[in-house]
């Protein structure tokens, strides 16, 4: 029996060695990482079922010593040589522990049916046992819920349990029982030892591979996130010599590469490390490989000085990873990781270069989007500025002229208000956000002028807590709402009022403009209308709503409600953000 144990350990060592080599291949690691679908189930079933077949072929034929036959009942000739002490269960059980019941069943069917076809005294019993073992191991995997594969302890206990089950199946199925009992006595202890150890080592190898990959991915993620946080501010203005150098400093510090470089389409923007004595900022691109990447838009991995093809004598750069930097799917430059020894370019370096390159490309897209967003915002504000009704200016001037003789002080005050209004109107595009107090003052200047024109027909009320005066919002938000109320709601009324209110709701502010005008049709949605070719529409409200959505999201959209019996309430909610928080 000791000799049999030793021989089985030798066989098991062969299988474990093959398993070790297999798990070091990228193909197997990709299969492990894939989602468990029909394709991966079939691949794992065939692969681990093949390990089971290998365990059969490396099995050891067992024949009991002569004295066993003296007490066996006479049942005719029995070919004990076809009873095998084997490690077939290793592949089948690992299949279940790695991929669940379906993989266990597939591997068990492949290895089990193969064993049945070989025939022999225990052929059917062992084959049937392997099929059941695979399913049982799969359910153990599901029951334990220990991650992508079970723990080493669970694997060991499963190996012991499965082997005991295997021996029980031989006793139950193989006939006659007396001969099956002899075989179990002979192969039971060696198989229990060898299979339990083999399953445990196989699982330990796979767990090591998974842990190594998780550690590498975690390290990469940590590096990329760390780099991202530090270089965001440097790329807000796009890619130039200054931003490129600051980004390279961050990447170079976080990664142990001999040299690193960033180019645009024509020149080197920054270069740090090996080769910096002749690859410097502002210089035209020297390497032909970089020009090829700029043209093709595909990453290149160079493993010789000839491929880099730098014309500078004694250039230390002998290997490189060149990744194209794209903005809106158009190549804008390259990120290059240089190596002085091409044999030190590891797969993890290639993945890192690809991750950093994509990150830089996304940041360039984000910077461009932010730039375009600011341009759009400025255009929207200028469009609002251009919407100021010329009649408002002319009427204001006429009102002031009429007051100069009779009420010169009031005329002077109106001129000041008119100047304040237009000054704020002209400078609005210079600021992304203004304080609520500034916005209220701008609107108050507009209303002061209109109140003189409306004489006693217009009453204005403004309620604003001092605590809310520094809350930030986009410029030119309130004045279009007030103007809309005057022109469309109060113009024909003998007595009208406009009320502006700012109310704090926990960590938000509700701002509303209310009037007692003619109201609004329930079937007419101002916020969905722009100015059409005839000049009709509600550009002001649409513009205000879009800018609120752009700054604060859907929770800050404009709400328009009809007040019974007459009047309209327009309101929106913004988060509390103050100047000192910016």
pLDDT for the residue numbered 359: 77
Calculate the CA 206 to chain-centre distance.
Answer: 27
Residue 336 lies in a domain: yes
End residue of a domain, out of 299, 330, 365: 365
Q: What are phi and psi of 56, to 5 degrees?
A: -70, -45
Quickly list H helices, 387-407. Answer: 390-406
- Per-residue pLDDT tens for 457-496? 888 899 888 888 899 998 888 888 888 888 777 766 778 8
Residue 431 in this model has a pLDDT that exceeds 70: no
pLDDT by residue (tens digit) across 399-418?
777 778 777 887 787 788 77
Buried b (16+ CB within 10 A) or exposed e, 6-41: ebbbebbeebbeebeebbeeeebbebbeeeeeeebb
Q: Residues 69, 139: one domain?
A: yes
Residues 358 and 406 in one domain: no
Instruction: Specify burial of residue 492 (Cβ count, 10 A radius: 0-12, 13-18, 19+).
Output: exposed
Per the structure block, which two tokens stand in for 105?
């069943």
Residue 79 and residue 188 share a domain? yes
How far apart CA 172 and CA 196 sit, in angstroms, is 22
**Nearest residue to 403 via CA among 453, 446, 437:** 453
pLDDT grade, residue 226 (50/70/90)?
low
The segment with the largest mean pLDDT, out of 55-69, 187-201, 207-221, 227-241, is 187-201
Instruction: Note the helical H segments in 428-477.
Output: 436-454
Q: Are residues 209 and 289 part of one domain? A: no
Domain holding 342, by residue range, is: 234-365
Pick the closest to residue 551 from 530, 577, 526 (CA basis). Answer: 577
Side-chain half-sphere exposure of 159, counting CA atoms within 13 A: 28
Sheet strands (E) in 328-442:
330-339, 434-435
Nearest to 277 by CA among 313, 326, 236: 313
Residues 205 and 109 in one domain: yes
Residue 334, pLDDT score: 92
Q: Is residue 376 part of a domain?
A: no
> Hey, what are 208's tokens?
């090591």
On whether residue 374 sits in a domain, the answer given is no
Is residue 123 one of the residues assigned to a domain? yes
- Give the CA-trace dihedral at 48, 52, 58, 63, to 10 degrees: 170
pLDDT for 220: 64
Tell me: do 355 and 405 sit in the same domain.
Answer: no
By CB neighbour count within 10 A (0-12 exposed, 13-18 middle, 19+ buried), where does 321 fall?
buried
Task: Give the C-alpha separation, 248 to 270, whole Å.
Answer: 7
**Tokens linked to 269:** 């923007």
Cβ-count burial of 384 within 10 angstroms (0-12 exposed, 13-18 middle, 19+ buried)?
buried
Q: Which of 154, 187, 216 is the last residue of a domain?
A: 216
| Two tokens, residue 534 | 């005839």
Number of domains in the chain: 3
Q: Please state, in angstroms and as integers, the Cα–Cα distance from residue 120 to each residue in 27, 111, 117, 185, following that order.
A: 37, 15, 9, 18
CATH number of the domain within which 438 lies:
3.30.565.10
| Assigned domain for 450 exists | yes
Same domain, residue pair 343 and 422? no
Q: Are residue 334 and residue 420 in the same domain, yes or no?
A: no
Whether residues 409 and 542 share a domain: the answer is: yes
Distance CA 428, CA 136 (A): 72
User: Does one domain contain both 212 and 243?
Assistant: no
454 and 392 in one domain? yes
More confident position, 459 or 581: 459
- Average pLDDT score over residue span 244-251: 81
Q: 155 with 204: CB under 8 angstroms?
A: yes
Question: Is residue 147 located within the same domain as residue 83?
Answer: yes
Q: What is the chain's length?
A: 582
Q: Which residue has the tokens 């060592």?
A: 13
Residue position matching structure tokens 């359910």 = 139
Confirm whether 557 is domain-assigned: yes
22-63: pLDDT as tens digits: 888 877 877 877 777 888 899 999 999 999 999 888 888 877
Q: How far apart are CA 568 and CA 332, in angstroms?
A: 52
Strands in 313-398 per DSSP E: 319-327, 330-339
pLDDT tier for residue 430 given thresholds of 50, 70 and 90: low
Q: What is the CATH number of the domain that holds 261?
A: 3.30.450.40
List the one residue out of 98, 1, 122 whose CA is nearest residue 44.
98
Domain of residue 116, CATH code: 1.10.1760.20
Neighbouring CB atoms inside 10 A of 132's CB total: 18
Does the residue 378 lie in any domain?
no
Of 332, 365, 398, the residue that ends a domain is 365
User: Residue 370 domain-assigned?
Assistant: no
Pairing of strands 330-339, 508-515: unpaired
The rounded mean pLDDT for the chain is 80
Rg of the chain's alpha carbons, rounded to an integer? 40
d(CA 578, CA 468): 9
The structure's pTM equals 0.47
- Lowest mean pLDDT segment, chosen from 277-281, 365-369, 484-488: 365-369
Other C-beta atoms lying within 10 Å of the C-beta of residue 121: 21
Other CB atoms within a 10 A radius of the CB of residue 44 amount to: 25
């Amino acid at each position: 029996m000791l000799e049999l144990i030793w021989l089985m350990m030798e066989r098991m060592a062969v299988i474990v060695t093959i398993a070790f080599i297999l798990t070091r291949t990228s193909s197997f690691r990709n299969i492990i990482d894939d989602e468990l679908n029909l394709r991966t189930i079939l691949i794992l079933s065939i692969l681990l079922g093949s390990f089971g077949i290998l365990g059969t072929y490396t099995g050891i034929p067992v024949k009991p010593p002569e004295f066993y036959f003296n007490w066996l009942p006479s049942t005719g000739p029995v070919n004990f040589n076809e009873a095998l002490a084997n490690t077939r269960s290793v592949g089948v059980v690992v299949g279940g522990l790695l991929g669940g019941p379906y993989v266990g069943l597939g591997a068990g069917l492949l290895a089990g049916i193969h064993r049945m076809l070989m025939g022999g005294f225990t052929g059917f019993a062992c084959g049937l046992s392997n099929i059941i073992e695979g399913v049982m191991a799969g359910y153990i995997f599901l029951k334990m819920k220990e991650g992508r594969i079970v723990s080493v302890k669970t694997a060991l206990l499963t190996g012991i349990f499965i082997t005991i089950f295997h021996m029980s199946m031989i006793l139950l199925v193989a006939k006659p029982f007396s001969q099956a009992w002899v075989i179990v006595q002979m192969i039971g202890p060696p198989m229990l030892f060898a299979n339990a150890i083999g399953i445990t080592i196989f699982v330990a190898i796979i767990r090591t591979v998974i842990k190594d990959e998780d550690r590498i991915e975690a390290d990469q993620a940590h590096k990329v996130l760390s780099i991202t946080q530090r270089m965001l501010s440097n790329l807000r203005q796009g890619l130039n010599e200054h931003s490129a150098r600051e980004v390279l400093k961050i990447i170079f510090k976080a990664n142990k590469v001999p040299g690193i470089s960033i180019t645009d389409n024509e020149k080197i923007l920054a270069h740090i490390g090996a080769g910096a004595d002749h690859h410097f900022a502002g210089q035209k691109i020297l390497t032909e490989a970089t020009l090829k990447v700029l043209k093709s838009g595909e990453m290149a991995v160079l493993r010789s000085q000839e491929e880099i093809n730098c014309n500078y004598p004694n250039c230390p750069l002998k290997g490189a990873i060149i990744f194209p930097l794209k903005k809106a799917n158009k190549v804008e430059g390259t990120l290059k990781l240089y190596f002085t020894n091409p044999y030190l370019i590891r797969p993890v370096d290639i993945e890192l270069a690809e991750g950093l390159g994509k990150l830089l490309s996304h940041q360039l897209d984000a910077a461009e989007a932010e730039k375009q967003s600011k341009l759009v915002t400025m255009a929207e504000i200028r469009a609002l500025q251009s919407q100021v009704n010329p009649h408002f200016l002319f009427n204001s001037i006429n009102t002031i002229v009429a007051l100069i003789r009779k009420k010169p002080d009031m005329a002077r005050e109106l001129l000041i208000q008119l100047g304040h209004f237009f000054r704020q109107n002209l400078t609005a595009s210079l600021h992304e956000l203004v304080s609520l107090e500034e916005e209220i003052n701008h609107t108050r200047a507009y209303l002061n002028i209109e109140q003189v024109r409306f004489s006693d027909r217009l009453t204005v009320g403004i309620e604003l807590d001092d605590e809310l005066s520094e809350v930030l919002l986009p410029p030119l938000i309130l004045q279009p709402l007030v103007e809309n109320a005057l022109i469309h709601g109060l113009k024909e009324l003998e007595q009208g009022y406009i009320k502006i209110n700012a109310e704090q709701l926990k960590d938000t502010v509700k701002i509303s403009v209310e009037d007692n005008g003619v109201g609004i049709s329930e079937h007419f949605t101002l916020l969905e209308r722009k100015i059409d070719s005839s000049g009709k529409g509600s550009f002001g409200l649409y513009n205000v709503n879009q800018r609120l959505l752009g700054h604060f999201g859907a929770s800050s959209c404009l709400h328009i409600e009809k007040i019974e019996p007459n009047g309209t309430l327009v309101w929106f909610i913004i988060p509390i953000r103050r100047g000192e928080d910016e």
